Amino acid sequence: GQDYPGATLDDIDVDALARHLSPADVADLQALRELESELERQGFVRRDADGLSLTPKALRRLGESALKRIFAQLDASGRGDHDDQRTGAADERTGAFLPWRFGEERPLDAVRTVHNAVLRRATERQATSAETGRLLHVDDFVVAETERRTTAAVALCVDLSFSMITEDRWQPMKQTALALSHLISTRYRGDALQIIGFDRTARRLTPMQLAEVEPEWVQGTNLHHALKLAGRHLRRHPDAEPVVLVVTDGEPTAHLEADGSPVFHWPPMPQTIQATVAEVDAMTRLGATLNFFLLGDDPGLARFVDAVAQRNGGRVLTPGLDRLGEYVVADYLRARRGRRRSA
């Protein structure tokens, strides 16, 4: 048989299989073999001891494609404002110039300042037929306008519980996370993104790990653990704007005990709710608001996040699956411009 590590579709005996399958099934197999070969040739998949796996090139293409679709939705809905236009003392030049004022922190533009002085002196000569003797005047000085680009520490918590797969929410969740990762890695490289997946327990995931993660058929939605990991991420970046985004379809049903062991119970135990709310309060003290993206219509989840929003000041959004990415990316762009609240 062909059931061994490293087996490929090329190892299948098509002639033997054709004796047991229809011509259409055999044609499908041949098409899959050609697709596998082409993806490997183009560098989108690679083969190792565990079989085929995605390459970084494939991950970038997945994120880029998902982000393009999201930006098309944002532009169509009029929500596609991607930059912070506040001017300030640091970061990127806009190309515009401003008069210098005492105490100005923006960078002085020497070329434009000298240019202004030359024009002024030429005008003075025409008006008085004499040199004034002033090489530079305070009004000649200009500074370069800059855009204030705050950095953000972003924790994206995504639900990996088995209901996400049974309700067809798995792929939209993955596409959304990969799109956000691609956006941050290409346009906001100063931001620090941590993806956190949670079911009965939570764990940190790289974009590649998220792309390849498979559902585990275990019960439990351990938002308590996810927020603990999010808090650690935010504390590692104390000067950044804290952004916490949670994508979930169920109310908290699991938490960690003091010894680190997970506890699951349905319906949720008071201890689970108390532990989760304690982490919400910890987020609040860090100056972070929690914005929830609810999938489905779980009434218990709705009650919980409404109470959290009132307690923490965050938002609750209920996007359809086809607009999940649009909502998450737009909210990230809005949140990273926010002013830090005092802890």
Those residues whose C-beta lies under 8 Å from the C-beta of residue 288, and which sit 6 or more positions away, are 234, 242, 243, 244
Distances (CA, A) of 112 to 139, 142, 158, 198: 12, 7, 50, 55
What is the chain's mean pLDDT, rounded? 85
Do 260 and 180 belong to one domain?
A: yes
Tell whether the model's pLDDT for residue 163 goes beyond 60: yes
Do 171 and 109 belong to one domain?
A: no
Confidence band of 50 (pLDDT split at 50, 70, 90): confident
CATH number at residue 174: 3.40.50.410
Do 224 and 312 belong to one domain?
A: yes
Do 277 and 303 belong to one domain?
A: yes
Q: How many domains does the chain have?
A: 3
Per cent of the chain over pLDDT 70 is 82
> 75-134, pLDDT tens digit by residue?
877 654 444 433 433 455 666 778 887 666 677 888 888 888 888 888 877 766 555 567
> 186-225, pLDDT tens digit by residue?
999 999 999 999 999 999 999 999 999 998 888 999 999 9
Average pLDDT over residues 317-328: 96
Residue 192 CA neighbour count, 13 Å, CB half = 13
Provide the domain limits for residue 37: 9-52
Q: Are strands 152-159 and 192-198 parallel, antiparallel or unpaired?
A: parallel
- Does a structural domain hold residue 60? no
Neighbours of 213 (CB within 10 A): 15
Do 198 and 254 belong to one domain?
A: yes
Instruction: Residue 63: name the closest of 204, 206, 183 by CA.
Output: 183
Do 32 and 15 belong to one domain?
A: yes
pTM above threshold 0.75: no
Of 147-161, 233-247, 307-321, the one with minimum mean pLDDT is: 147-161
Q: What ranges make up the beta strands (E) of the chain?
A: 45-48, 51-54, 87-99, 142-147, 152-159, 192-198, 202-205, 241-248, 254-256, 262-264, 289-294, 316-317
Tell whether the model's pLDDT for residue 63 goes beyond 80: yes
Of 40-54, 168-182, 260-274, 320-334, the one with minimum mean pLDDT is: 40-54
Tell whether the model's pLDDT for residue 2 goes beyond 60: no
CB 5 within 8 A of CB 49: yes
With b meaning 16 or more CB within 10 Å and e meaning fewer, what string describes 181-193? bbbbeeebeebbb
Do 197 and 305 belong to one domain?
A: yes
Report the pLDDT value the prediction gives residue 86, as an integer from 0 to 100.
37
Confidence band of 342 (pLDDT split at 50, 70, 90): very low
